[in-house]
Amino acid sequence: MSSTLSSIDSIISAFAEHGYICSEKIATAVFLANALEKPILIEGPPGVGKTELANTMALITEQELIRLQCYEGLDEAKALYEWKYGKQLLYTQILKEKLGELLEGTQGLDGAMDRLHSFSDVFYSERFIEPRPLLKALTASDGAVLLIDEIDKADQEFESLLLEVLGHYQTSIPELGTIKAEVAPRVFLTSNNTRDLSDALKRRCLHLYIPYPDERLEQKIIASRLPEIDPDLNRQLVGFVHGLRSLDLKKAPAISETIDWARSLVLLKANQLDRQLVRDTLNVLLKFEHDIEAATEKLGDLLKPSVSSTSRAVN
């Protein structure tokens, strides 16, 4: 086991070095998944760092990140492998042109067939196979981090294809047999809960739900990404964002949008929040006009707790 993944504390430290501030719960899931060689199924609202967890794992382990973006209609040919039909046709043409030379000296049909059978059958061989993300992850000689993103967008039938891959890190190709990974990939599946996943898929994975972080953790995340930010401004903006998330919005601001807002405020050389500043920059946090109008109506209530907490901290 890599020393950086040998304990929960070392995982928290390694992820922090790469800008991912994770909770003990997340680090524990990563530790167990690595030790047990199990995939992690990560659920939670959009923008809480599900995909980034896999990206950071690839940086820490220095392994290739192989991403499979799921969508409706995703099938075996796009996820696992497909045959290089064009090259197979060219091979057939070449074989036809060379057939006379190959069969020279044979006696009768049986002799010709025996000669043909003496050559290896390369038509359905690894030479003509086009590996897709799942097969690439299984055959990576140094292992890989496999991100199966937004699995809930794929059809339910696609989950059946994943069961063998996730259960035994192998797959069966009728023409070639079973291909098993020499180094098990580290697998992360993400879901935004748009549909229920099958029990069979869940049984093969460790489950991890990542909610929005609490204020303290989100302040750490902001400070990690923007070390130059004023601590009071950090407290105010995170408190404001948490107030926004309590409203009935079409799309609540994600962590990535909190970071973007913090960057914007630093660029504007702000050191505290005020009504005008928030009105002018709400579009960085909120993506729907209806949400911006709803937040503007509550601006007084939203600003009061965050500014008060800063006053208390200063006093």
pLDDT at 288: 95
Cβ-in-10-Å burial (0-12, 13-18, 19+) of 100 comes to: exposed
C-alpha 221: how far from chain center? 19
Q: In degrees, to the nearest 5, what angle opens at C-alpha 154 toward C-alphas 209 and 21? A: 30
pLDDT at 314: 38
Residue ranges of the domains in the chain? 3-80+133-209, 82-128, 215-296
Q: What is the C-alpha to C-alpha distance for residues 188 and 39, in angstroms, rounded to an integer?
A: 6
Q: What is the SS3 assignment for the chain? A: CCHHHCCHHHHHHHHHHCCCCCCHHHHHHHHHHHHHCCCEEEECCCCCCHHHHHHHHHHHHCCEEEEEECCCCCCHHHHCEEECHHHHHHHHHHHHHHHHHHCCCCCHHHHHHHHHHCCCCCCCCHHHEEECHHHHHHHCCCCEEEEEECHHHCCHHHHHHHHHHHHHCEEEECCCEEEECCCCCEEEEEECCCCCCCHHHHHCCEEEECCCCCHHHHHHHHHHHCCCCCHHHHHHHHHHHHHHHCCCCCCCCCHHHHHHHHHHHHHCCCCCCCHHHHHHHHHHHCCCHHHHHHHHHCHHHHHHHHHHHHHHHHC
CATH superfamily, with its number, for domain 3-80+133-209: P-loop containing nucleotide triphosphate hydrolases (3.40.50.300)
pLDDT at 315: 38
Give the orientation angle of helix 255-267 with respect to helix 215-225, to 10 degrees: 50
Amino acid at position 74, single letter: L
- Average pLDDT of each block of 10 consecutive residues along the chain (315 residues)? 83 94 95 96 92 96 97 93 86 79 78 74 81 96 96 92 92 90 96 90 95 94 94 95 95 94 96 93 95 93 68 43
pLDDT at 313: 45
Give the contacts of 143 (CB within 8 A, at least 6 positions apart).
61, 63, 183, 184, 185, 186
pLDDT at 176: 87
Alpha carbons within 13 A on the beta-carbon side of 183: 14
pLDDT at 24: 94
pTM of the model: 0.82
pLDDT at 58: 97
Which long-range contacts does 240-245 make (Cβ < 8 Å, 24+ apart)?
240/273, 240/278, 240/302, 240/303, 240/306, 241/285, 242/212, 242/215, 242/218, 243/298, 243/301, 243/302, 243/305, 243/306, 244/285, 244/286, 244/295, 244/302, 245/212
